[in-house]
Amino acid sequence: MTTPPTIPDADHADAAGCIRQALSQARHALDALMDNAATLAAIERAGDLLCSTFSSGGRVYACGNGGSMSDAMHFAEELTGRFRGNRAGLPAQAISDVGHLSCVANDFGYDQVFARYVLSHGRAGDCLLAISTSGTSPNVLAAARAAKDLGMRVIALTGRAGSELGALGDVSIATPAGAWADRAQELHIKVIHILIELVERRLFPENYGSS
């Protein structure tokens, strides 16, 4: 059996400092979000938009790159599956099918992978959650424009206020959280969970009782 290497005490101290710094940055970012009344109001409007989309028989799509694609998938599965309690599934889809993505990237270029899906499946009255930490991802911008052309509504979720994607959104939620994208993405998943809860509370109030 191999004996694991001994880690110097200084390395333990450095790791502990890194952990505390990361948690402190995350706490500061969350506090800044909680203190931003305009962003909180935008989250509420986005929840209203999702509710009206589902109530009128529309579908919700979500897209993003890398970690933002994972967030889009997380968003959709909480809606089609369940979040807090059992209830009917809601029509939501992340644009993440590898067959579609590789086909369109090969034939039309990666900038079109999300827009092509929106143009194939989206309809007026549907909604797109477009996620880009920078707010400048070309393929997410193309998807938002395609959605607008079809008469869909767009919720822009970014990590930078005043971005190009934010300008395309019917509702724009920006979560600036410092110099690093990971802090903004940590706030994105909190926003996503709040949006899902807002939908459930409105459409399935029995799941929440008197809370």
Where exactly are the structural domains of the chain? 19-203
Q: What pLDDT, on the 0 to 100 scale, is given for residue 177?
A: 76
Q: 9-34 and 181-203 helices cross at what angle (nearest 10)?
A: 50
Q: What pLDDT, on the 0 to 100 scale, is given for residue 208?
A: 92
Q: What pLDDT, on the 0 to 100 scale, is given for residue 180?
A: 79
User: Is 201 within 8 Å of 184 (Cβ atoms)?
Assistant: no
Q: What pLDDT, on the 0 to 100 scale, is given for residue 179?
A: 76
Q: What pLDDT, on the 0 to 100 scale, is given for residue 146?
A: 98
Residue where the block lists tokens 């694609």: 69
Q: What pLDDT, on the 0 to 100 scale, is given for residue 162?
A: 95
Closest CA to 95 of 146, 52, 46: 146
Q: What pLDDT, on the 0 to 100 scale, is given for residue 6?
A: 58
Strand ranges (DSSP E) for 103-170?
A: 127-132, 153-158
Assign residue 109 a region (left: φ > 0; alpha: ψ between -120 and 50; beta: otherwise).
left
Closest CA to 204 of 78, 94, 95: 78
Burial of 206 (0-12, 13-18, 19+ CB in 10 A): exposed
Specify the CATH class of 19-203 in words: alpha beta
In Å, what is the CA distance from 158 to each residue of 57, 132, 164, 181, 191? 27, 5, 10, 10, 11
Residues of the chain with pLDDT under 50: none
Q: What pLDDT, on the 0 to 100 scale, is given for residue 69?
A: 98
Which one-letter DSSP state was computed for residue 130? E
Cα 131 to Cα 68: distance, rounded to the nearest angstrom: 6
